[in-house]
Amino acid sequence: MRAPAPDSLPAMAAEVAADAAAVAGRHADSVDREARFPAEAFAALKEARLLGLMVPRDFGGGGGGLADAAAVAHALARQCPSTGLIYAMHQIQVACLVRHGQGSDWHRGFLERLAGEQLLLASATTEAGIGGDVRSSACAVEGAGDDATGAAFRLEKQATVISYGTEADAILVTARRTADSPPSDQVIVPVLRGQTRLEEIGGWDTLGMRGTRSIGFRLVAEADRAQILPLPYADISARTMLPVTHILWSSVWLGIATDAVARAAAFIRAEARKRPGTPPPGARRLAEATAGLQTMRGMVRGALARFEEAADDPDRLTAPGFTVAMNTLKTEAAEMVVRIVGQAMLAGGLAAYRNDSPYSLCRHLRDAHSAPLMINNDRILGNTANLLLAHRDNGTLFG
């Protein structure tokens, strides 16, 4: 498998990922049926050195950008949505380290390890007792003073979800800065496998996205304070984690929708060949699904372009209008993927409804329904509503 070229375009990144995507596709049914981690696909991704895609070349990585990661996540999701989503979640953590960790010796060394060893990163942001609000933490960094940069600390978190936690080589954990800090004064710290104990506090038997293995854990970590990212989590979230999450998640959902429409189109064409000159009954539904897919694709591309234009400007990244745009991407894309897959299923009829059909959309439909729940659309819409009290759209076509 080829590693991505330093100046790779998104299309090239997707081409490099084609072999790994094919592996993901061959094992997708097994991953879904057994609710297991897609180990075969990630072995292929590591071989292609795609876990370090966004790490700068100076650290031994692929030097790719967010568009490259989105293209790979999309290509994987077309074959196995669980694989695509895990890859997206990994790259969200990589983006945080790349954009906010290069000023620290420890994090520069970690980026080199990430690229060299193709480490898989997970995150622990949710927590029992905070009601799903990732901008609050109950747990805290404990055991050393703020100025003891080389001192050890201890952290214990009741994490309601750590996707693929037992398979990850490192987990980025949010916590209060100190035991005396308020819930919103958070930091984020990467803790390595050997520094962490995980005890399962829940199972994972779900409708869809079963391969993500999003189990709850009691996480206990002991590490050095040098591992804490220096920028407050509030800034990391606004400048990187929130927009990158919504763009990469939406790219995954777009991959699901793309494959659903492709399967529906294949079915309609097969039916049309049986009765030349007579449009199959589902052709109109296919047209509706295709129109929705084109709209969704334009929305994801537009959000990606908007982020890349603002990427180096903290003021633009933290402006209410930018946050509204990224929140809207998430909520709309999450609803669109459910709608598009539903239209594609109507186009395919019973062939799409069957599990044993080459045109089956059963897994697509189940996986799509996870989208509005990650993070719940109602929570995001509530946050957007509050932002709109202070923000007014300028009404321009290209604003």
The last residue of a domain, from among 64, 91, 119: 119
Residue 397 included in any domain: no
Residue 147 included in any domain: yes
Tokens representing 256 are 């699901």
- Residue 372 shares a structural domain with residue 257: yes
- Residue 91 shares a structural domain with residue 142: no
- Residue 170 shares a structural domain with residue 290: no
- Residue 335 shares a structural domain with residue 275: yes
Do the bridges between strand 170-176 and strand 214-224 make them parallel or antiparallel, or are there none, so unpaired? unpaired
pLDDT of residue 6: 42
pLDDT of residue 5: 46
What's 173's domain CATH number? 2.40.110.10
Convert 55-88 to b/e letters by CB count within 10 Å (16 or more is b).
Answer: bbeebbbbbbbbbbbbbbbbbbbbbbbbbbbbbb
Residue 46 included in any domain: yes
What's 326's domain CATH number? 1.20.140.10
Residue 296 included in any domain: yes
Tokens representing 72 are 């790979």
Residue 395 included in any domain: no
Domain count, the chain: 3
- Residue 248 shares a structural domain with residue 349: yes
Residue 399 included in any domain: no
The DSSP secondary-structure symbol of 4 reads P
- Residue 240 shares a structural domain with residue 213: no
Q: Are 255 and 74 in contact (CB under 8 A)?
A: yes
Do the bridges between strand 170-176 and strand 121-124 make them parallel or antiparallel, or are there none, so unpaired? parallel
pLDDT tens-digit profile, the chain (399 residues): 444 444 445 777 888 899 999 999 999 999 999 999 999 999 999 999 999 999 999 999 999 999 999 999 999 999 999 999 999 999 999 999 999 999 999 999 999 999 999 999 999 999 998 877 899 999 999 985 544 455 799 999 999 999 999 999 999 999 999 999 999 999 999 999 999 999 999 899 999 999 999 999 999 999 999 999 999 999 999 999 999 999 999 999 999 999 999 999 999 999 999 999 889 999 999 999 999 999 999 999 999 999 999 999 999 999 999 999 999 999 999 999 999 999 999 999 999 999 999 999 999 999 999 999 999 999 999 999 999 998 878 777 676
What's 92's domain CATH number? 1.10.540.10
pLDDT of residue 7: 46
Alpha-carbon torsion, ordered 399, 243, 207, 264, to 10 deg: 40
The last residue of a domain, from among 60, 90, 119: 119
Q: Mapping DSSP to helix (H, G, I), strand (E, B) and coil, where does residue 287 land?
A: helix
Beta strands in the chain (DSSP E): 121-124, 152-163, 170-176, 186-192, 196-200, 214-224
Residue 102: which residues within 8 A CB-CB, separation 6 or more?
56, 108, 111
pLDDT of residue 132: 77
Claim: this prediction has a pTM higher than 0.75: yes
- Residue 243 shares a structural domain with residue 223: no
Residue 42 included in any domain: yes
Q: Which domain holds residue 84?
A: 10-119
Q: Which residues pair with residue 175 across a beta bridge?
A: 187
Q: Are 289 and 340 in contact (CB under 8 A)?
A: yes
- Residue 187 shares a structural domain with residue 316: no
The last residue of a domain, from among 227, 261, 286: 227
pLDDT of residue 383: 94
Q: Are 42 and 91 in contact (CB under 8 A)?
A: no
Residue 398 included in any domain: no
Burial bucket for residue 345 (CB in 10 Å: 0-12, 13-18, 19+): buried
φ/ψ of residue 334, rounded to 5: -65, -35
CA distance 205 to 104: 40
- Residue 249 shares a structural domain with residue 377: yes
Q: Are 172 and 124 in contact (CB under 8 A)?
A: yes
- Residue 146 shares a structural domain with residue 52: no
Q: Which residues pair with residue 197 across a beta bridge?
A: 220
- Residue 111 shares a structural domain with residue 207: no
- Residue 345 shares a structural domain with residue 283: yes
Alpha-carbon torsion, ordered 191, 68, 17, 342, to 10 deg: 100
pLDDT of residue 399: 61
